[in-house]
Amino acid sequence: MSFSFISQLFFCFTVFIYFVSLRVESWGTPIIPISSLVTKSLYDTIFLHKDDTACPAKNFYPYQSFIKASKYFPQFGTTGCLATRKREIAAFLAQISHETTGGWETAPDGPFSWGLCFKEEISPQSNYCDSTNNDWPCFEDKSYKGRGPIQLSWNYNYGPAGKALGFDGLKNPEIVSNNSVIAFKTALWFWMTERKPTPSCHNVMVGKYVATKVDIAANRTAGFGLVTNIINGGLECGIPNDERVNDRIGFFKRYTKLFNVDTGPNLDCAYQKSL
C-alpha cells in the first residue's frame, strides 16, 4: 500500500468525521446547533435586563437552561435554510419576551430589551381551571395560572405538557416557575406542538403550514402574525393596531435585526379571525 493511498484514505476519513460532527441534515446543509446561532453573548444582548433587580424573575432564565431545553426539541431552530432557522428562533424569543416583559415605553434601552422579566403571572383573575375538561381534571387548590417563558396557562395545557415532558403538570404546576429548564421546555413544547386544526408555531415559521379553505376565508396567512394568533388570538387578533400585537412585533423586529435576517411577511393578525 503506497504512502499516497494512505494519505488519501486519511483525508477521506477526516472529511467524513467532519460532516458527522456537523450532523449533516442533507448534502451541503449541515445542521448548525442552537448554541452557534444563539451564543451567550447574543442571548445576553437580547435579554439585556432580565437579571435586573426590578425583574421578579432575576437569575431564573440563564442561557444554559435555554440551550439545555432546546436540545429536547431537535427540530427547533434546525429546520430549513439558515435564514429560516434564525427567523424561527427570533420569533420564539420575541413571543416569550412579550409574555414576560417588564418593559415600558421609556424604559432604559427601550421597551424591547426587557424580556424574561417575569416567571409567573402576577394577580391572576382566576385559577385557570376548565372544570368541563375531563381529560385533564384540576387538582383542588391548584392554580394553572401563567408560568414560564410562554406563560403556560390552563389545566388542559399543564396536563399534556407535563405528560410530554415527564412531570405532573396537574398536581405540581408550580414546577414551571421553580425549574428553569422545565420552564423553557414548556415554552418549546407549546411552540412545537400541533393541536389540530391549529398548526404549530414551528410549522408556521419554517414554511410547513398549509392554509385550509377555512384558514383562507379567515385571512390566516403564514407569518409572525399567525403565530400570535396561535398563542393568544382570541384576545388579540381581529383588532387593528392592537397594542399587545404591536409589542410582540416590536420585539420581533429588534431580534431579527440582531440575527441579521428579515422578518418575513404578515407580521400582525389585525384582520385574521382567531383560531
pLDDT tens digits, 39-58: 999 999 999 999 999 999 99
The yes-or-no verdict on residue 12 having pLDDT over 70 is no
Which residue in the block uniquely carries the three cell numbers 412531570? 167
Q: What's the pLDDT score for residue 30?
A: 60
With cut-offs at 50, 70 and 90, classify the pLDDT of residue 10: very low
**What's the whole-number mean pLDDT along residues 144-155?**
98
CA nearest 59: which of 190, 182, 178? Answer: 178
Q: What's the pLDDT score for residue 42?
A: 98
State how beta strands 29-30 and 24-26 pair. antiparallel
Catalytic residue among 88, 99, 120, 121: 99
Beta bridge partners of 30: 24
Average pLDDT in the chain: 91
99 is catalytic: yes
Q: Which residues contact 248 (CB under 8 A, 6 or more apart)?
A: 94, 95, 98, 224, 228
- pLDDT digits over 234-269, tens only? 999 999 999 999 999 999 999 999 999 999 999 999
Percentage, residues of the chain above pLDDT 90: 87
- The radius of gyration of the chain from alpha carbons, rounded to an integer in Å, stands at 21
- pLDDT digits over 67-112, tens only? 999 999 999 999 999 999 999 999 999 999 999 999 999 999 999 9
Q: State how far the Cα of 263 lies from the Cα of 247, in Å rounded to an integer.
A: 15
Q: What's the pLDDT score for residue 270?
A: 97
The yes-or-no verdict on residue 28 having pLDDT over 90 is no
Q: Which residues contact 1 (CB under 8 A, 6 or more apart)?
A: none
pTM equals 0.89
- pLDDT digits over 158-203, tens only? 999 999 999 999 999 999 999 999 999 999 999 999 998 999 999 9
- pLDDT digits over 68-79, tens only? 999 999 999 999
Q: Provide the sign of the torsion angle of the four alpha carbons 28, 29, 32, 38, taken in this order.
A: positive
Q: State how far the Cα of 256 lies from the Cα of 30, in Å rounded to an integer.
A: 22
With cut-offs at 50, 70 and 90, classify the pLDDT of residue 32: confident
The yes-or-no verdict on residue 157 having pLDDT over 70 is yes
Q: Provide the sign of the torsion angle of the four alpha carbons 153, 114, 96, 213, taken in this order.
A: positive
User: CB count, 10 Å around CB of 213?
Assistant: 7
